[in-house]
Amino acid sequence: MTISSTPAMKGRVLIAGATGLIGQFVAEASLDSGRPTYVLVRSCPTCPTKAKVLQSLQDKGAIVLHGSISEKKKMEEILRENEIDIVISAVGGEKILDQIALVEAVKAVGTIKRFLPSEFGHDVDRADPVEPGLLMYKEKRLIRRLTEESAYFVAGTDIGKFTMKTVDDVRTLNKSVHFRPSCNFYNMNELASLWEMKIGRTLPRVTVTENDLLAAAAENPIPQSIVASFTHDIFIRGCQTNFAIDGADHIEVSSLYPEEVFRTLEECFTDFALRLNGMVIGNTTEAANPSPVVEAFAITASCA
């Protein structure tokens, strides 16, 4: 969404959802670019992880503002008093419709040069997941329509970096910017083989059929059902690859910045393998004779 066609050069940035996974990368990239960066939080986070992220952003120079994107008048006040130029929303699925009030506040203020809604995923107008994922996409489509009225794998750090590059780029005005790094184009079997190469052993394979995914989407509680829904849309329907990027309203980020290098999935897997190895070594309660059973370790992904 663009209120003004004037390029926003090092303008003040307000980020909603900055303590989330994607929002953190965007906020860090904004700070690294030298822009005055404001992060919006409802209150002091009670979640230790989010509190740690917020403190880290503050230590790097972020300015914390308190408020909710669902409160139009409060957002108007925040945008005006802090002379915000760029608004970026990275809120999660449960807050998608809260962006309606934020869009209205942006329009009312009239001085915002760029507004980026929370669409750090598939093209919501092209993807067609089964429920419950479809409901989330319908909500995102509604926000996209409001702003218009006025399987590739990408590292989170790259999402942040390229997001901040586009806010200053007149070539991206009112366009959908797609991420399709050719170095990170994999199917599921290739992903499994790459991971096996990194950990140095062959893992047992379990075939998950389309019907399995549809059943998981229909029967599991949220968020597992949404994960199954989106997995089906990506790997069965091919929502990331079944269309050409053409027309005046769409552009691929690599064509904008050919000199920039994406972090590869192989590099990400190398990091994951090192972290996994550290978890195994650090387990002092493990028996002297290791079990032959393959165990699954929960790892928080930093890029996907």
- 21-32 vs 156-166: helix axis angle to the nearest 10? 50
Please answer whether residues 147 and 118 qualify as being in contact, where contact means their C-beta atoms are separated by less than 8 angstroms: no
Point out the catalytic residue in the list 140, 161, 165, 175: 140
* Buried-state track 267-276, b at ≥16 Cβ within 10 A, e below 16: ebbebbbeee
Strands (E), the chain: 13-16, 37-41, 63-66, 86-89, 114-116, 176-178, 250-252
Residue 44 and residue 50: Cα distance in Å, rounded?
A: 9
Residue of 8, 2, 13, 16 whose CA lies nearest to 83: 13
Angle 26-298-163 (CA atoms, 0-180°, nearest 5)?
Answer: 10
Q: pLDDT value at position 282?
A: 56
- Whether 165 is catalytic: no
Span 29-54, pLDDT tens digits = 999 999 999 999 987 777 899 999 99
- Residue 252, beta-bridge partner list: 178
Span 251-288, pLDDT tens digits = 999 999 999 999 999 999 999 999 888 775 555 444 44
Q: pLDDT value at position 134?
A: 82
Q: pLDDT value at position 9?
A: 52
Taking 50 as the pLDDT cut, the residues of the chain under it are: 1-8, 150, 284-304
Residue 13 and residue 62: Cα distance in Å, rounded?
A: 10
Q: What is the pTM of this model?
A: 0.60
